[in-house]
Chain A
Amino acid sequence: RKEVEQDPGPFNVPEGATVAFNCTYSNSASQSFFWYRQDCRKEPKLLMSVYSSGNEDGRFTAQLNRASQYISLLIRDSKLSDSATYLCVVNRGNYGGATNKLIFGTGTLLAVQP
């Protein structure tokens, strides 16, 4: 079983739709959580960090449920430019100086259709 699991998709949605991505992680010692966006043949780019209290950045909302070890990303009013692969990322590093290593899911492909 992979440490971070995501539905690979693809998710094909019309412009303006709301789409939700889910992710689960298996290591309860995980410390911090992120969503990265990766365009085709480009590097991953940090979309947002994810906090237990939930956080929102414009059309994007991320939630973390530590008890269920579950992370979500909601995109409202989808734009064509949102088409990309969304990577769920967990960091098991701790603040005692242990390795800050990012563990990636395989990514969920989103295709927003006109």
Chain B
Amino acid sequence: ETGVTQSPTHLIKTRGQQVTLRCSSQSGHNTVSWYQQALGQGPQFIFQYYREEENGRGNFPPRFSGLQFPNYSSELNVNALELDDSALYLCASSPEAYNEQFFGPGTRLTVL
């Protein structure tokens, strides 16, 4: 096990709603990255937080937002949910912003 935890494990929402996903990084890790994995695809980078600051963002609209707390845990917020947001959301932690990343079990989001 990587020591990275995510909650909830599964979530069902309807279009237009808002969702918050949570991630606790492995002890000693100060960097959290978030990825979206649609069915049959590889994970796609959403953004990264390093020492509580956003440290880069992928090609996702502003309705995807996040933050990192002083204990390095992190949240991913998605507003105005769309059907295409249905996916497995993965967070990954690393000890610094440029090390190997270790993934949590993911949150499976279904938007109806």
The answer to whether A100 touches B102, judged by C-beta atoms less than 8 angstroms apart, is no
The answer to whether B42 touches A99, judged by C-beta atoms less than 8 angstroms apart, is no
What are the residues of chain B within 8 A of A94 when measuring CB–CB? 98
What number of B residues sit within 8 Å (CB to CB) of A?
30
CA distance A4 to B45 in the complex (A): 13
Q: How large is the interface on A (under 10, 10 to 19, 20 to 34, 35 or more residues)?
A: 20 to 34
CA distance A34 to B44 in the complex (A): 15
Option from B31, B45, B103 in Cβ contact (under 8 Å) with A44: B103
The answer to whether A93 touches B100, judged by C-beta atoms less than 8 angstroms apart, is no
Within 8 A of A (CB), among B35-53: 35, 40-45, 48
B: residues with CB less than 8 A from A are 2, 31, 33, 35, 40-45, 48, 55-58, 88, 90, 92, 94, 97-106, 108
